[in-house]
Structure formats: structure tokens, C-alpha cells
Amino acid sequence: MKESPRIDMVLDEQGFRRVASLFAGGVQVAAPVGCDLDTFFCRCLGLDPDYAATRVRTVFLNGRPVDDTSRAVLAPGDEVALSTAMPGLVGICMRRDSPIKSFRRDISHDPAAGSSSRTGADGGGTGLVTVKLFNFIALEAGPLLLARGVYLSGERLARAVAGGPGVLSVTVDGRECDAQKLCGEARQAGEKVFFLRATEATKGAMTVRAE
């Protein structure tokens, strides 16, 4: 991906929270082709292995609940959704290694269903995978993921930034820029993909690169 103009934003807590709300709709993350979910959690999302194993209790890959994350292999274009343990009977059923997982046998992820090209720890190269974070996972892991960087469209970026107060300053390639002007340009970019990186609220800058 070619180098693009660098956009830095300083956000207050309210602005940072609004940007973090993008996780429910999904953001994209670069991942090694052919890596398993355990590798993806640690290498691409920056999650501690213990946190991923004990806190992330509900995992969906392309809409199918996953039990063995070490055998679930990713390909470009896949979608991964993460949540803490969800309440209720349905929530219990969807958890990893649920005692009643047999009730969802027909919709569970089958590691053997993928082709040979999807196996192995690293298939070579990288691709974009959509990540959705819900409830406490979004609050706890979201800031870490924003700090590492995510991909999203200009339209979604504009909606998050222009949704209200919270943008304290904006610079483009080191030059100050008006936030509303930037939002207009991002909105005009439509589905053009941007790379967004952010540190914790008001403690650093958010960097966006168009790809």
C-alpha cells in the first residue's frame, strides 16, 4: 500500500469514545494469510494470551461460533466477532466449549471445512480481516487495537469524527487543518480505505493514512 498524507488528531475522552464506537460495525485489520485465531489475537490485535483465553469467551468466524481457536484459520475477507460471555441460554450455548454446544452443532465453525490453502500457521503475505468487538471487549481491547491501527472507509471515518465535539486539533502532514474540512474530504472519499491509529483518549494523537 502506497504512502498517503498523514493526518494527526488529538481527541478528548468523548471524541475517543465516539471513534471507538466503530468497533460494533466492524473495522479491518491486516493479518498474515493462513494464521489461526490464537495467532491473530496476539500478533494482530495485541491481546495477552491469558486475556484472549479467559476473557474473550464468545468468538464468531464468519457468523459461526468457534470452540477451538487454535484450529480456526483466517483468510482475507473473513469476519471475526469477539465478546465476553453473553447472558441467557443462547449466550451460554454460543460460548467457547459450552457444555451445551451440541445444540448448535449445525452452525458451529468446522475447522475441517476449509481448503488446504487455509491451513498452516502462515500462508504467506497479508490480507484484511474484519473485526467486530462487543460489550466489555470493545471497552477493554478497543483502545489497544486503535493504538495498533485499523482500516475503515472515509465515509465511516467522517461519521465518527463529525458526530459531535471531541476533536481538539487536526494536522495534515504536520500542518494544522480544520476538523470539519477533513470530515468533508473523508466523506467525499466514500469507500476509499483509510488507516486509523489512535492512542488513549487525550494522551496522544490519532493518525490516519489513506491507502
**Site of grid cell 491507502:** 211
Residue 207 has what pLDDT?
Answer: 65
Grouping H, G, I as helix, E, B as strand and the rest as coil, residue 22 is: helix
Counted residue by residue, the chain has a size of: 211
pTM of the full predicted structure? 0.82
Contact 67, 97 (CB under 8 A): yes
Number of domains in the chain: 1
Instruction: Answer whether residue 95 is part of any domain.
Output: yes
Q: Alpha-carbon distance 82 to 55, whole Å?
A: 10
Instruction: Answer whether residue 20 is part of any domain.
Output: yes
Residue 204 has what pLDDT?
Answer: 57
Residue 25 has what pLDDT?
Answer: 92
How confident is the prediction along the chain (211 residues), in pLDDT tens digits per residue?
Answer: 456 667 777 778 887 777 888 899 999 999 999 999 999 999 999 999 999 999 999 999 999 999 889 999 999 999 999 999 888 888 888 888 888 878 888 888 888 765 334 444 444 688 999 999 998 899 889 888 888 889 989 888 888 877 667 887 777 778 898 888 888 888 888 888 888 877 665 555 666 666 5
Instruction: Answer whether residue 75 is part of any domain.
Output: yes
Q: Alpha-carbon distance 172 to 206, whole Å?
A: 11
Instruction: Answer whether residue 50 is part of any domain.
Output: yes
**Site of grid cell 461519521:** 159
Instruction: Answer whether residue 158 is part of any domain.
Output: yes
Q: Alpha-carbon distance 38 to 10, whole Å?
A: 33
Query: Which residue range is the domain that position 95 belongs to?
Result: 6-210
Residue 111 has what pLDDT?
Answer: 84
